[in-house]
Amino acid sequence: MSDEQQGYVWGYRRVSSVQQSYARQTEDLTAALLKRGVPADDIEDHIFEDKMSGKTMDRPGLTALLRRARRGDIVCVSSLDRLGRTVLGVLQTFEDLEKKGIRVRSLKEGEEFEGITGTLLRNIMLSVAQWEREMIKERAAEGRAARAANGERKPRAKTALTPEKVAAAKTLRAEGKTIAWITSSLGVSRASVYRALESA
């Protein structure tokens, strides 16, 4: 069965700053959606977007897409790195979509998760993601050791729990997202997420 027969087709585009342009991604996504049968007048309604800086993990566009897409649908991206800031983030987003029965199509040549090549690519990404996890743990441990050596106490993190994030945390949890996924997506601590879920 062809892609055109498999539910709706969506697009997702992301840039990392307000100064950057969606133009190239929009051009690629428009061509891909037209090829898969999306009417020209409906293209913009089928494309979700985020402008995500390096200082935030908020992705309202991707969250909206996850709510809209259904099993059997296809999500097109210009390249897999549009799904996350790190390899770990890309894999988490890909797996979230996959669990809902939603397929991802990268428009970049060679980025395909199906078949033998896809299995190889996923295994490589999993290895890099594991390396990222270990590096994060190592840097955190080094920071704690340095503070201890200087007689410093770990600073208490300031909460970034806005009313919008409280609502988002509750919505994501209701959709079955893990606490770890919510903390990563909203850029807040686990304690903040638990407080949000316990609030009235």
53 included as an active-site residue: no
List the catalytic residue out of 2, 16, 79, 127.
Answer: 16
- SS3 annotation, the chain: CCHHHCCCEEEEEEECCCCCCCHHHHHHHHHHHHHCCCCHHHCHHHEEEEECCCCCCCCHHHHHHHHHCCCCCEEEECCHHHHCCCHHHHHHHHHHHHHCCCEEEECCCCCCCCHHHHHHHHHHHHHHHHHHHHHHHHHHHHHHHHHHHCCCCCCCCCCCCCHHHHHHHHHHHHCCCCHHHHHHHHCCCHHHHHHHHHCC
Catalytic residue annotation = 16
